[in-house]
Structure 1
Amino acid sequence: MTAADLRDLLAEGTELTIVCHNNPDPDCLASALALGRLAASAGVDERRILYSGEISHQQNRAFVNLLDVDLEALDPETVQNRSEGSLLAFVDHGVPGANNRVPEGTPVDIVIDHHPHESLDARFVDHREDVGATATILTEYVRDLDVELDATLATALLFAIRRETLGFLRGVTRAEYDAAGFLHESTDGDLLRQLASPAVSGATADAIATSIEHRTIHGSTLLSNVGRTSERDALPQAADYLATLEGVETAIVFGIVEDTVQLSARSTDSRVHVGDALSEAFADVGNAGGHREMAGGEIPLGLFADDAADSEVLCDLVETVVTARLAKTLGLEGVGANGEEQSEE
């Protein structure tokens, strides 16, 4: 499907509801902002961006605040019972009920995403696993449809592409460089620097420190349990850092955040697809998956809670079960079925 097909579909609608995935990141937020601008250029007056979960990562909070992104909390019933002529769009995710609170089976009009999916069902689908960011795809539409590119939109899209590709070092393609070249002249350099260097909370620093202290290494794979934390987005930051340790090719960090177990994985090992690995290990008990080099997961804590009377016991149980599942999936040597290190005696 083409940019003209997207414009024509948007022009049919009286309003557009754009749903972000749970705990949206810059790639998702920038893509939603860009799709809203595309809709406005097509004559759609009523537009809204919805999200669920939290915006807790300091870069995500800075993104929303500095760029003044207008967000609303997602009400599943309202999304499902939209008025006639109201279009529903997903950006940076694609399936109702998977990493979002939209009820399963809800009809979707537009899906634009770069994450792996077996199949996607919508009136307009642009699914490109081979590009490094969903924001790259939206940048192409902004360019091809000659949508006004102001400093806010250009900065949002360029920052999202840089963040999603870790500064053009992870999963980057020629398309990201082309998009960056198009966006560069309209970008606010000072704002881009502010987004790249936000203040880090003490709780985030504590969670990252805990991940370093509790790391265990099995060959070239590192696992770390941060225990209970209020900072969900400290996990991917910890995984990013731990993946840079000498001899480590795959880093997986997990911990308890409110009523879920959250996981974040990074890998440079050509033999490992961490998205597939997390899906194989945890898809039967939660949502997990992602790319070859970057993935995440979420497991309801109810799976463990009935067997644990207090927080310390619960953290130990989570570590045992998660480690055992990862060990089985990744074939980690020296880790028993209960997740504990095996003796060489």
Structure 2
Amino acid sequence: MKDLISTIKNDKPICMVVHNNPDPDALASAGGLKFILRKKGFKNIKIYYDGLVGRAENQEVLKILEVSLFLTANISSPKKYQYILVDCQPFTGNVTLPNGVLPIGVIDHHRKRRKTFQVPYYDIRPDYGACSTIIYEYFSSLDISIPTNIATALCYAISSETQNLGREGSQADRKAYIELLSRLSFSQLSRTQYPKLSKDFVSNLSRALLNAFYYKNLIGVVMEELPYPDFAAQMADFLLRVRNMTWSLCLGTFKDVLFVSIRTSNTQADASKIIKKIMPKHGASGGHDMIAGGQVKIDKSDRSVVRTIKNEVILKMIRTLHANDVPNIVKLISNEAFPLS
């Protein structure tokens, strides 16, 4: 962290950029890092993103942090800023940067990408389950007291990212989580874990279940239109809880992008490799051993092409898990044949 501080110039404003459609880990990490940098004398700092903060839990994290987010599309004169990426890496397809910009710093817990080596400062820890754990360790190493609201957001983010430390949680994540528990607000944590849900969410959940399918140990859902991009990950997490299922797949479109999320309960798997196999070649993907996601631009006006792409993703997923199978896919609710057409 001290190396990052020495890399930052005092006379240039800071754009802190999180990945598109930011989740609790990205939001909490950025909020915590912004607080640290302010404590170190850097005043002109804004957090930028692209997409939506759609999920109710994510919106609660924003309320806890009491920070404002700004769209990267609204950055004017981008060359006058210095950029720090949080919970993402440059040129990976899931973060939006102005053209011609190279960040001065990258803090992430995903596998290191080649372009990241060009960045002056990077702290990449793929063995960590959450980026928020890295930020917690920055607080500790600099002996900066963590405010209650940031402690709450960081703790929830670690819990959310690792499913209460049961999914890819490292010793560092466990240590951070336990120590943050003594500093947070349990009322804020409860509101974030169990937010009020809109009627639209219930309607979308119903729609997803009606479009859900399964084949052997794979369960999934195909949606024509997602209510927000993170809904794909939300449904992949939800469906994996169905008994006897060890893999889940959710895909759907939002505007002109097809989003794909996969999850597994197999601790020996590598979801990041599987997502690369099933995504179209012109798409982008990334992830960890047990969670992964991808996206690809599409022309929604050509519905037959979009449907073909979705079918190919499903079939590639099945054949990756069950080589040479001719799948008999079944609807989850009715047990009728699930049409790939």
| TM band (smaller chain) | 0.7 to 0.9
Describe the superposition over 1:155-201 as per-residue Cα deviations: whole angstroms up to 9, x where unpaired.
11111111111122111111112112332222111111111111222
1:250/1:274 Cα in 2 relative to 1: closer, same or farther (>3 Å)?
same
CA distance in 1, matches of 2:11, 2:154: 25
CA contact under 8 A between 2:21 and 2:229: conserved in structure 1? no
Deviation (angstroms), 1:135: 0.4
Q: Is the aligned partner of 1:209 residue 2:200?
A: no
1:156 is matched with which residue? 153
Q: Is 1:8 matched with 2:17?
A: no
Out of 58, 62, 65, the position equivalent to 2:63 is 65
More displaced, 261-270 or 213-222? 213-222
TM-score in terms of structure 2 length: 0.88
Give unmatched runs, 5+ long, in structure 1: none
2:87 aligns with: 92
Which residue of 170, 177, 201 maps to 2:174?
177
Q: Are positions 1:326 and 2:317 aligned together? A: yes
With a CA cutoff of 8 Å and minimum separation of 6, indicate the structure with the bigger relative contact order: 2
On the 8 A contact 1:155/1:192 being kept in 2, the answer is yes
- SS of the aligned residue for 1:161 comes to helix
Shift of 1:105: 5.3
Partner of 2:254: 257
User: Which segment drifts farther, 131-140 or 231-240?
Assistant: 231-240
- Counterpart amino acid of residue 106 in structure 1: V
Correspondence list, 1:181-196, <5 A: 181-196=178-193
TM-score normalized by the length of structure 1: 0.87
2:34 counterpart SS class: helix
Q: Retained in 2: the 8 A contact 1:256–1:315?
A: no
Deviations 1:93-135 (A, max 9, x none): 0113520121465211110101123331311111010011000
Partner in structure 1 of residue 331 of structure 2: none
Alpha carbons of structure 1 residues 154 and 11: separation in structure 2 relative to 1, 3 Å: farther
User: Is the 8 Å Cα contact of residues 55 and 61 (structure 1) preserved in structure 2?
Assistant: yes
Percentage identity across aligned positions? Answer: 24
Matched, 1:106 2:101: yes
Counterpart-to-counterpart distance in 2, 1:197 and 1:341 = 33
Give per-residue Cα distances to partners, 1:236-263, cap 9 Å, x unaligned. 2221121111211000011122222111
Aligned length: 328
Aligned to 1:296: 293
1:284 deviates by: 1.3
Structure 2: gaps (5+ residues):
329-336
> CA RMSD for the aligned pairs?
2.4
The structure 2 residue matched to 1:223, chosen from 196, 220, 224, is 220
1:117 corresponds to:
112
With over 3 angstroms needed to count, the CA separation of the structure-2 counterparts of 1:231 and 1:73, relative to structure 1, is: closer
Corresponding residue number in structure 1 for 2:334: none
Matched, 1:136 2:133: yes
The residue number in structure 2 matching 1:166 is 163
Is the Cα contact below 8 Å between 2:284 and 2:295 reproduced in 1? yes
- Contact 1:230–1:258 (8 Å) recurs in 2: no
